[in-house]
Amino acid sequence: MVDGDVPERMQAAAFDEFGGPEVITPRILPVPEIADDEVLLKVWSAGVGVWDALEREGALVPEGAAFPIVPGAEGAGTVAAVGGQVTDVAVGDLVYVYGRRRPKGGFYAEYAATKAQYVAKLPSGVPVEHAGAMPANALTALSGLDVLGLPAGEWVLIFGASGGQGHLAVQLAKRQGLSVIAVASRAEGVALVTRLGADLSVDGHGDVVEVLARIRDVAPDGVGGILAMAGGETLDRLTEALRDGGVLAYPNGVQPVPRERPGVTVRAYNGETGPERLRRLNELIEAGPFEVNVAEKFPLGRAAEAHRRLQTSYPGRLLLTVT
């Protein structure tokens, strides 16, 4: 089924060569056609992440993609058309997508084609205007919590808690019944994670000895797991808060890679998606209001500027507003 208003061509941000932010330019391109197992999304908003920069640089290009390449791994909007095999969503549904395989282009466009298995209806509790910046980080945070596998009531330390993945991990961990120590960035980050429900919020730029002392005050027996969204000397020191047998999990791509130490298991992970993972994420989100903190919004025509902003520090996420 197809929405009768779907045009033949669309506005997009794309590049014809790999390089810096300047290679992304506004374009007019054909609206992608969909197969029987695909959905055409009328994009409202798209998240801007480091994975998009890697795609732009040629390091993380979806298999089958060809120039001009439309980047963008995640987005939200309304279903404009569905293939003949698609039954879980219908034209007009408000949905979100994290599409790791997207040979027909990403979400920096008015329309995007994606496999139906990556599409989920937007749950209540997520602000529609911010939904495009949620899927990749929320699914990756959920994967990290699964790797830790901590029982309800256990202490988890989230390092980089005010970042794009971290602030969503704080909320998902609380909904799993975990006690959360959030190590954030500066006063602004500490305020964000405190508002989101962290049991202890500390500034990772402070004295690490004082930070460890505050952690031991609330978790004298140590924490059961650390979810690390960044690496470095401070993280390596904070592993002292892990009790023997604890697990440190980090998403692939974190640099420097967290150090191993005796008595601690270090595991890397990727964000996983699919119907079952999307169902679980929606159940957790619908447990209450879910905040996607957007640091800055950019119109589609300023995608290159958004990529330059990626190279700076900010709490939460960056967002392209498309429709």
Q: Is the pLDDT of residue 100 over 80?
A: no
Q: Under CATH, to which class is 9-134+292-321 assigned?
A: alpha beta
- Of 53-57, 259-263, 304-308, which range is least confident? 259-263
Q: What pLDDT shows up at residue 147?
A: 97
Which residue ranges does the chain devote to CATH 3.90.180.10?
Answer: 9-134+292-321
- Which residue(s) pair with 114 in the sheet? 39
Q: What pLDDT shows up at residue 4?
A: 63
Per-residue pLDDT tens over the stretch 22-35: 999 999 999 999 99
CATH code linked to domain 136-269: 3.40.50.720
Q: Is the pLDDT of residue 3 over 90?
A: no
Q: Indicate the average pLDDT of the chain.
A: 95
What's the half-sphere exposure (Cβ side, CA atoms, 13 Å) at 48?
Answer: 31
Q: What pLDDT shows up at residue 185?
A: 93
Q: What pLDDT shows up at residue 208?
A: 94
Which residue ranges does the chain devote to CATH 3.40.50.720?
Answer: 136-269
Pairing type for strands 25-30 and 74-82 reads unpaired
Per-residue pLDDT tens over the stretch 303-323: 999 999 999 988 899 999 998
The residue length of the chain stands at 323
Q: What percentage of residues in the chain have a pLDDT greater than 90?
A: 90
Q: What angle do CA 82, 85, 90 make, to 5 degrees?
A: 35
d(CA 215, CA 235): 13
Q: What pLDDT shows up at residue 1?
A: 60
**Using H for helix, E for strand and C for coil, what is the string for 248-304?**
EEEECCCCCCCCCCCCCEEEEECCCCCHHHHHHHHHHHCCCCCCCCEEEEEEHHHHH
